[in-house]
């Protein structure tokens, strides 16, 4: 059996970005999201709780809740799928699942207006490089929703290797810019 050259390239890019992320922390201007028409018009927003050296989402999630929006966080399912669940901002309503904290409670089955998601890199076409499990690709393949990936400035790259199952994002937020694709 031959190795998949696209996956090998993705793996190398993931390793490089993880090493670079360990060397610096960026501060994001989340007003670039909260003042966007997609955020203003949204009632239900999916976000995530960052861990490790991912761009921090604590302030962003507080802004979502303080604006009166319904905040959803992802919860991993068997088979590496994602389901979104309500979160009220209370730490006691989370539980640890490996490295990430997930909301407890019922799965949300309504319409999500905006999803803010993690990425290791995004290219100028909206191709997103995730951690490699494919969870977000599977979830986003089932819905039509505006997506914004959070990345550091140097993680906006010329080209992310992509495969047919990879889902593009519609925008990326760097510390200083909201870039639409």
The parts of the chain modelled with pLDDT lower than 50 are 1-5
Q: Would you tell me how many other CB atoms lie within 10 Å of the CB of residue 173?
A: 23
Report residue 108 as tokens: 């949300």
Report residue 21 as tokens: 């992320």
In angstroms, the CA 141 to CA 66 distance is: 29
pTM recorded for the entire structure: 0.90
Q: Give the model's pLDDT for residue 23.
A: 64
- CATH number of 5-180: 3.40.50.10420, 3.40.718.10, 3.50.30.40, 3.40.50.920? 3.40.50.10420
Report residue 104 as tokens: 């407890």
């Amino acid at each position: 059996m031959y190795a998949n050259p696209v996956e090998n390239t993705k793996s190398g890019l993931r390793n490089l970005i993880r090493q670079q992320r360990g060397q610096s922390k960026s501060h994001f201007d989340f007003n670039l999201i909260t003042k966007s028409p997609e955020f203003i018009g949204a009632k239900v927003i999916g976000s995530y709780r960052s861990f490790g050296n991912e761009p921090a989402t604590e302030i962003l999630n507080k802004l979502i809740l303080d604006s009166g929006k319904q905040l959803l966080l992802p919860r991993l399912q068997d088979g590496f799928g994602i389901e979104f669940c309500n979160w009220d901002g209370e730490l006691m309503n989370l539980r640890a699942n490996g490295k990430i904290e997930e909301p407890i409670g019922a799965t949300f089955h309504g319409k999500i207006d905006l999803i803010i998601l993690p990425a290791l890199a995004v290219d100028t076409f909206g191709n997103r490089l995730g951690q490699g499990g494919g969870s977000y690709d599977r979830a986003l393949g089932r819905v039509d929703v505006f997506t914004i990936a959070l990345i550091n400035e140097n993680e906006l790259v010329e080209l992310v290797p992509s495969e047919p199952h990879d889902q593009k994002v519609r925008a990326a937020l760097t510390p200083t810019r909201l870039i639409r694709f």
